[in-house]
Amino acid sequence: MREQGVDITPGTLFDAEEMVINMGPQHPSTHGVLRVILKLDGETVKDLDCDIGYLHRGVEKIAEHDTYAMITPYWDRLDYVAAVSNDLCYVGGVEKLLGIEVPRRAEYLRVALTELQRIASHLLWLGTHAIDIGAVTVLLYAFREREEILKIFEDFIGARLTAHAFRIGGLWWDAYPEFEKRVRDFLKILPGRIDEYETLLNANRIWLSRTVGIGVLPADEAINLSLTGPVLRGSGVKYDLRRAQPYSVYPEFDFEIPIGENGDTYDRYLVRMAEIRQSIIIIEQALDGLPEGPVMAKVPKVIKPPVGEVYFGIEAPKGEIGVYLVSDGTTKPYRMRIRPPAFINLQSLRRLSIGHLVADVVALIGTIDIVLGEVDR
């Protein structure tokens, strides 16, 4: 009898050498409604399978019935902890399809907001990853800083989580007067706070023994699994869409792409912490060079892209999020396809987990950094 790829043979607990255990969909550490079916020998994972789709809404199909402008809010709800990044992807895709030149001020503000969102997403990841491993306090500290970012979003965009930050052609609003000062104030305190987290975790023997050498993924395998984002860079591959396929105004900024050495859970943690620091540098540059001018390009009232198709991908906090749009010349897309980073990264869970213990599976789900809204779409 095979169900979901894991062999479930009937028998009592003591007849069977292996125990099949169902982690999720209601489980504290599967980050949403992921169902992981584990085949255990004692506590060692023999086999594992992910069952997804509990949060499936059919966003791609819904998009075929909505106009281009109406689709944007659905993107907020994909990776709902990084809504601004998702918006940039979709809006950028439509702009590429239309051939619109976005004003430079709008691009700079977009970069600043997207990098703030990257920091917020990584902070949330850090907190939940730490709480999975048992360090509860880091979560509260990370949320304290994330709250500041959400407040900035609320004042700029009007919403904290599902922001709907960008419009096709630019931004709906210009930055409010204190925006620059508030962001700078926040960036001033943030590096010290990151040092705080690192003192809690980096030198902690328990944290090290829980993360070092857990879920080692060599670079070649990471590429074969088509992973992107920090999971790939943790394995030592220097691939970041902001540099590999530059979009927006990223070529104008000076920043580094942190990579890991061993591809274990600890390296992926280090990569994300380094990325937060790089994001701070990018935001500072964006605020320094913020040009004057309009924030909205001239966009027709009714958006009717020419017949054609386009792919546009950006580096979201979790990896490459991309949109593939096919236009048939009407106001609605003929087909919209999302390249979800978390969905593709989740495929590595089986490869990472086999041979480790149950406790490590929890840490590994955390290290991949999934959001089920995006995995299930």
Partner 1 sequence: MLGTLTTLMLVAPEWVLRWTKEPRGNAFWAEFVVWPLIQILIVLFIVLTLVAYLVYLERKVSAFMQARLGPMRVGPWGLLQPAADGLKLLLKEDIIPLKADKTVFQIAPIISVVAALVVLAVIPWGAAWATIANVNIGLLFILAVSSVGVLGLVLAGWASNSKYSLLGALRSSAQMISYEIGMGLSIIGALMFARTLSMSGIIEAQQADGVWYVFFQPIGFIIYLVCALGETNRAPFDLPEAESELVAGYHTEYSGFRWALFFMAEYTSMLVTSAIAVTLFLGGWSFPGLGLIKNQTLFVVVSIVIFAAKVMVLIYLYMWFRWTWPRYRYDQLMDLGWKWMIPAGLANIVLTGIWYVLALPKSRGGVFGLMQLGLRDRLAPTRWSGIIYFVVTGFVITIPIIWLVLAAINRRTRDFNLHAQRQLQIKLRAKRLQKHAEPQAAGEGAS
The only residue of 79, 95, 240, 264 in contact with partner 1, by rule CB under 8 A:
264
Cβ closest to partner 1, residue 159 vs residue 359: 359
**Angle in degrees, 0-180, between the axes of helices 179-201 and 265-288, rounded to the nearest 10:** 160
- Which among 20-28, 62-70, 290-298, 305-313 is the span making contact with partner 1, rule CB under 8 A? 20-28
Place of tokens 């917020």: 120
Residue 244 interacting with partner 1 (CB under 8 A):
no
- The sheet with strand 35-41 has its strands ordered as 19-23, 35-41, 44-51
CB of 19 to partner 1, least distance (A): 7
Residue 55 vs 200, nearer CB to partner 1: 200
Beta strand residue intervals within 115-175, DSSP E = 166-167, 170-171
Cα angle 98-286-243, degrees, rounded to a multiple of 5: 65
Q: Return the closest-CA partner of residue 209 out of 359, 69, 349, 39.
A: 359
Task: For residue 357, state whether it binds partner 1 (rule: CB under 8 A).
Answer: yes
Q: How far apart are CA 377 and CA 369, in angstroms?
A: 16
Using the rule CB under 8 A, which residue among 7, 41, 43, 288 binds partner 1?
43
Considering the rule CB under 8 A, would residue 293 count as an interface residue with partner 1? no
The one-letter amino acid at 140: L
Residue reference for tokens 């999302």? 338
* 33 part of the interface to partner 1, by CB under 8 A: no
Q: Contact between 246 and partner 1 (CB under 8 A)?
A: no
Least distance between partner 1 and beta carbon 214 (Å) = 9
Of 205-234, binders to partner 1 (CB under 8 A) are 206-210, 212-213, 216, 218-220
- Residue 339, classed as helix, strand or coil, is strand
- Under rule CB under 8 A, residue 358 binds partner 1: yes
Under rule CB under 8 A, which residues in 128-147 are in contact with partner 1? 130-137, 140-141, 144
| 360 sits near partner 1 (criterion: CB under 8 A) | yes
Give the nearer residue to partner 1 in terms of CB position, either 88 or 133. Answer: 133
Query: Tokens 């395998």 label which residue?
Result: 221
Residues numbered 171 to 200 that lie near partner 1 (CB under 8 A) are 200
Note whether 359 binds partner 1 by CB under 8 A: yes
Q: State in angstroms the smallest separation of the CB of 11 from partner 1.
A: 13
Q: How far apart are CA 81 and CA 124, in angstroms?
A: 8
CB-based burial, 292-303: b 16+ in 10 Å, e otherwise: eeebbbebeeeb
Strand partners of residue 339: 322
Residues forming the site for partner 1 (CB under 8 A): 13, 19, 21-22, 27-29, 43, 130-137, 140-141, 144, 200-201, 204, 206-210, 212-213, 216, 218-220, 261-264, 357-360, 362
